[in-house]
Chain A
Amino acid sequence: MARRGNMEGAFARLHLKLVCGIIFFTVTCLEAYSAFVYADELSQPQSDVILTVTGRLDNHNANGAVLLDRPMIEKIGLRELQTRTIYSSTPHLWHGVLMRDLLDYVGSMGEQVEFRALDGYSVTIPIKDFYDHDVLLAIRKNGEDLSIRRRGPTRLIYPRDLDTSLLDPKYAARSVWQIEKMIVK
């Protein structure tokens, strides 16, 4: 009898586990589905696309990717930053959006971002950088939109003048220009 009681107990526990598992699975599926269905549909670019973001994103406007034109980037929240870069000995005034704001906007779910430039250069930067520092995705220099010739249309500006730890050579490699594409990983 005692043995049977034990087995009944084991069954009860197994049953409980199964029920819990099913409930958990269902909830997870529902969440994923709702995330898929109710993922924020971002607005479509109206003018030339200057930046494409792909990878692990919550939000998108083109088949899992986010295409951005200049006004869309400006709408995320334009910030300004006065700093030198590795190529200029005089400070310039940069306008752009904070990288973390942009990542929020696209609903980033990754740990790092691979940047690809027009000339084929690519570098992978941990997302931590953008939360430790006010890293700017610049679109204007001294009030003028960045052209390709002027290392645009977008480039990363680290606030070197505000934080000496950014003088480390690895940040020179991360100061990408002529950014064409970001892949959130």
Chain B
Amino acid sequence: MRLYSRALATAYLVSVIALLVLEFYQFQKVDRLRGQIAQSYEMISGRDEGIRLELEYRRFRSIVAKYALGVNLGAHNAGSDEKPDGSSGTTQDVSHQMVHNWFDILWSRAFSINTISVDIPPEQHEHFNQMMSGLRISLRAVDQLVQSLEPGDFIKYQRIDRQLALYEDDISSMAAVIAQTRVKRASQLQHRLDDALKSMNVMLLSSAVGVMLILTLFGTEAYRARKEEMRIKGREARVRFLAEHDPLTGLGNRSFLNQKMNQFIRIAEETGKGFNLVLFDLDKFKDVNDTFGHPMGDRLLKNAAARLINIFSQENDIVVRLGGDEFAILQCADFAETERSVIKAINALSSAFDLSGNDIRISSSAGISRYPDLSSSSDELLRDADLALYEAKSRGRQTYSLYEAGMSVAIQNRVRLEADLRHSLLHGGKGLEVYYQPQVTRNLENGRCCITGVEALVRWFHPELGQIPTMEFIEIAENSGLIGTLSDWIFREACSDLVSWHKAGHKLHLSINLSPHQLNNSNLDAELMELLDNTGFDPNYLTVEITESVDVQDTRKAASMLSRLSAKGISLAMDDFGTGYSNLGYLKSLPLNVLKIDRSFVQQIEEKEEDRKLVRGVINLARGMGLKVVAEGVETEKQMLFLQAQRCDIFQGYLFGKPMHKLAILAMLSGVNLASGTRAPEAEDPQTPQGLGETTAGPTRPELTLIKGRLR
């Protein structure tokens, strides 16, 4: 293609240059011809001296004859030239003055011809030169006679005429020679003119051909350029469409939304009419993808898109897919109208989708922001709609909410906490603490409790905001991708603490929670083992706790990863058992060692028979499957006694100790464990973690002894 256009360009250049050269050459030729024609014209015009000599010679002789003899000698009259006085010499008398004048004219002519003109062949130059000098001598000779000539003076006339008659033949033959040369010249000129005309023809023809050639070339090029341009335009349009649309649903994409949003904002500026941005999110769409596969998920999205388009079908409504299961709608209407449409859409999306015989039901949430009343730019619109969507989801799904100003404060707080948490983790966990809650067993015979393990729990003491609720910052960490780093940090801290305690002789077990996000990391076992190696912690003393969660993307992968952990000697505990959907198949598929009964069951043991039955059943189930049972949230001795009666192995709860600083645990271990007391000291005020070192020993001791005494 490039070669072709280059060749074409070269062809243009060459042809244009060739034509220019040709035209230039032709112009020069025409100019030369013009000069030649002008010259030729000069040559045949009356300027020539030889011919004028004959004319004047004959005129003078005729005038002299008329004057002297009073007769008209028409034969001598050489032409139609007017007489010097403007009258015709044939009818009027001739004055002496006329004779005089014409003699002078002939004289001046004869004396001005110094050289014979080019019209005469060179071989005759000599002859005519002699004739001319003879003529001059004769003119001198007759000068006096002419001056004194009078009418009727025949003798003088004869003498004059005889002198002049000598030259008649020669002057005539000279004129004839000249005339002949003239004829030749004329025919030459004719040839030249013919040539010139032919040349003009050629020139015109070549110019026409050249112009045609150039026009054709340019026409071809213009046609080609137009075709090329149309092709490029078509391609551009296609590329633009692809860039602005989602290939699956055919709806616009995020960049299309941004473009339209800016356009809507401009229109709103001009007309003063506001518009709404609605973000739709299909709840639990991921489950559909996981359960039925991606092709089904794609079909669901298409159908959902079609339902949205049906509802938002006004001319100016814009429906786009932002990606995943998120849709956005721009509607130029007041809030009430958009609200009605959103309610319709949520209802429409909640009715079953029939995909290849499967009835699939999903719910959806919507967040609405509004320009210019609530949000004042496209970025704000998106952010605020997102906040409203978040709000709608947190209020329970299948609903919508309109953005309110307060929402952004909450989000700002979140953003700040996220940044601070990131900063803290980058600086070795400044402000973060690992707290430990004791897990105890009770000797049935002597009723003595013994700390056998601890559950590691993270706490965050923010330098300005104080203690941040653990649930809150764990969620932030999960959503911002910091959970891995945070978890690493907790593991490392806890393991190194436990290693030092082991060295001190306290062989405690360590339980640590794994977040669902970590379960998605199939490489977790290797990372964990490396960490254990680095800290020197014995994997046999480690229990990782998992919960039932929908957030685990690939349960098979997670199960195999957990199996590998189990093979390394690490125990696996199911946390919060009974609060999730308690899938027994899930229990079976995992290499579990421990089941942890949720505190909500334990707390009701004393009051409700159902809970007692439930707990009994769970413990039996666990024992049946060969699992150890840990009861969480044990707060009273009665609860402990009931659980022990059901042969629960391990207890954890405020009765034995809240989650506490490692120094407090250490103090407890060195004091209480030996004495096998039960009631652990309260954790120090978590708001003042810095004071732990000093305060641990003081207030805990007396309480320990007191409890010890009571229990005994």
Chain A interface (Cβ within 8 Å of chain B)? Answer: 87, 118-121, 123, 147-151, 169-170, 172-173, 177-178, 180
Q: Which of B52, B59, B104 contacts A121 (CB 8 A)?
A: B52
A-B contacts, CB under 8 A, total:
43
Provide a sorted-by-A list of 14 A–B residue pairs whose CB atoms are within 8 angstroms. Answer: A87-B112, A118-B105, A119-B52, A119-B56, A119-B105, A123-B47, A148-B101, A149-B107, A149-B108, A151-B108, A169-B39, A170-B42, A173-B42, A178-B105
- A120 surroundings in chain B (CB, below 8 A): 55, 81-82
State in angstroms the CA–CA spacing of A172 and B43 once bound together.
12
Contact between B42 and A148 (Cβ–Cβ < 8 Å)?
A: no
Given known A170-B42, A180-B84, contact A118–B101 (CB-CB < 8 A): yes
Complex CA distance for A40 and B59, rounded to whole angstroms: 40
Interface string of B60-91 (1 = CB under 8 A from A): 00000000000000000000011010000000
A173 touching B47 in the complex, CB below 8 Å, given contacts A119-B55, A120-B82, A121-B52? yes
Contacts of A169 in B (CB 8 A): 39, 42
Determine if B448 is an interface residue (Cβ-Cβ < 8 Å).
no
Q: Contact between B104 and A148 (Cβ–Cβ < 8 Å)?
A: yes
Task: Tell me if B412 is interfacial: C-beta within 8 Å of chain A.
Answer: no
How near does chain A come to B446, taking the closest CB pair, in angstroms? 122
Q: A119-B52, A121-B52, A148-B101 are in contact. Are A172 and B108 (CB under 8 A)?
A: no
Q: Report the bound CA distance from A169 to B45 in whole Å.
A: 13
CB nearest to A150 among chain B residues: B108
- Please, which residues of chain A bring their CB within 8 A of the CB of B114? 87
Cβ distance A110 to chain B, nearest Cβ, rounded Å:
21
Known: A87-B114, A180-B84. A148 touches B105 (CB 8 A): yes
CA–CA, A150 to B105, complex, Å?
9
Given contact pairs A148-B108, A173-B45, a sample of 14 additional A-B residue pairs in the complex whose CB atoms are under 8 Å apart: A118-B105, A119-B59, A119-B81, A120-B81, A123-B47, A148-B101, A148-B105, A149-B104, A149-B107, A149-B108, A150-B108, A151-B108, A170-B42, A178-B108
- How far apart sit A57 and B105, CA to CA, in the bound complex (Å)? 30
Q: Give the distance in Å from the alpha carbon of A120 to the alpha carbon of B88 in the complex.
A: 12
Is the beta-carbon distance between A177 and B42 smaller than 8 angstroms? no
Specify which chain B residues have a CB less than 8 angstroms from the CB of A119 in the assembled complex.
Answer: 52, 55-56, 59, 81, 84, 105, 109
B108 A177 Cβ-Cβ under 8 A? yes
Question: Which 9 pairs of residues, A with B, have the shortest CB-CB distance?
Answer: A120-B81, A148-B104, A149-B104, A118-B84, A151-B108, A149-B107, A173-B47, A119-B105, A87-B112
Name A174's closest neighbour in chain B (CB-CB): B47
Residue among B45, B55, B84, B109 with the highest chain A CB neighbour number at 10 A: B84
Flag whether B46 is at the interface (Cβ < 8 A). yes
Tell me the smallest distance from the CB of A176 to a CB of chain B, in Å: 10
CB contacts (< 8 Å) of A180 on chain B: these are 84
Residues of A within 8 A of B59 (CB): 119
Shortest B39–chain A CB gap in Å is: 7
Contact of A151 among B45, B56, B82, B112 (CB under 8 A): B112
Point out the residues of chain A lying under 8 angstroms from B104, CB to CB.
Answer: 147-149
Interfacial chain A residues near B39, Cβ < 8 Å: 169
B38 adjacent to chain A (CB < 8 Å): yes
- Residue count of chain B within 8 Å CB distance of chain A: 21
CB distance from B37 to the nearest CB of A (A): 12
Docked Cα-Cα span, A87 to B55, in Å, equals 20
Q: What chain A residues lie within 8 Å of B38 (beta carbons)?
A: 170
Q: Bound state CA distance, A150 and B107, in angstroms?
A: 9
CA distance A123 to B112 in the complex (A): 19
Q: Which residue of A lies closest to B38 (CB)?
A: A170
CA distance A10 to B273 in the complex (A): 51
Interface residues of B in 316-338 (CB under 8 A from A): none
Q: What's the Cα separation between A147 and B101 when bound, in Å?
A: 10
Q: Residue A172 contacts which of B46, B47, B81, B112 (CB distance < 8 angstroms)?
A: B47
Closest CB in chain B relative to A102 CB, distance in Å = 21
Of B38, B82, B101, B105, most A-chain CB atoms within 10 Å: B105
CA distance A68 to B109 in the complex (A): 25
Contacts of A151 in B (CB 8 A): 108, 112
- Residues of the A chain whose Cβ atoms lie less than 8 Å from the Cβ of B107: 149
Which B13-66 residues have C-beta < 8 A from chain A? 38-39, 42, 45-47, 52, 55-56, 59
List B contacts of A150 (CB < 8 A): 108
Within the complex, what minimum Cβ distance (angstroms) separates A144 from chain B? Answer: 14
Q: Is the CB of B46 within 8 A of A121?
A: yes
By beta carbon, the residue of chain B nearest A119 is B105
User: CA–CA, A121 to B112, complex, Å?
Assistant: 15
B42 surroundings in chain A (CB, below 8 A): 169-170, 173
Minimum Cβ distance to chain A for residue B356 (Å): 75
User: Which A residues are CB-close (under 8 A) to B101?
Assistant: 118, 148
Contacts of B56 in A (CB 8 A): 119
**Chain B, Cβ-Cβ closest to A121:** B46
Q: How many angstroms between the C-alpha atoms of A120 and B83 in the bound complex?
A: 7
**In chain A, what residue has the closest Cβ to B46?**
A121
CB proximity of B654 to chain A, nearest CB, Å? 101
Q: Closest A-chain residue to B111, C-beta based?
A: A149
Q: Which interface residue of A121, A123, A148, A180 has the most chain B CB atoms within 10 A?
A: A148
Q: How far is the CA of A180 from the CA of B114 in the complex (A)?
A: 25
For residue B76, give the distance in angstroms from its CB to the closest CB of chain A: 16
Q: How far is the CA of A101 from the CA of B454 in the complex (A)?
A: 132
Q: Which of A87, A118, A169 has the most CB of B within 10 A?
A: A118
Q: Tell me the complex Cα distance, A151–B104, Å.
A: 8
Within the complex, the shortest CB–CB distance from A170 to chain B, in Å, comes to 7
B56 — nearest CB in chain A belongs to which residue?
Answer: A119
**Could you say which of B42, B52, B104 has the most chain A C-beta atoms within 10 Å of its C-beta?**
B104
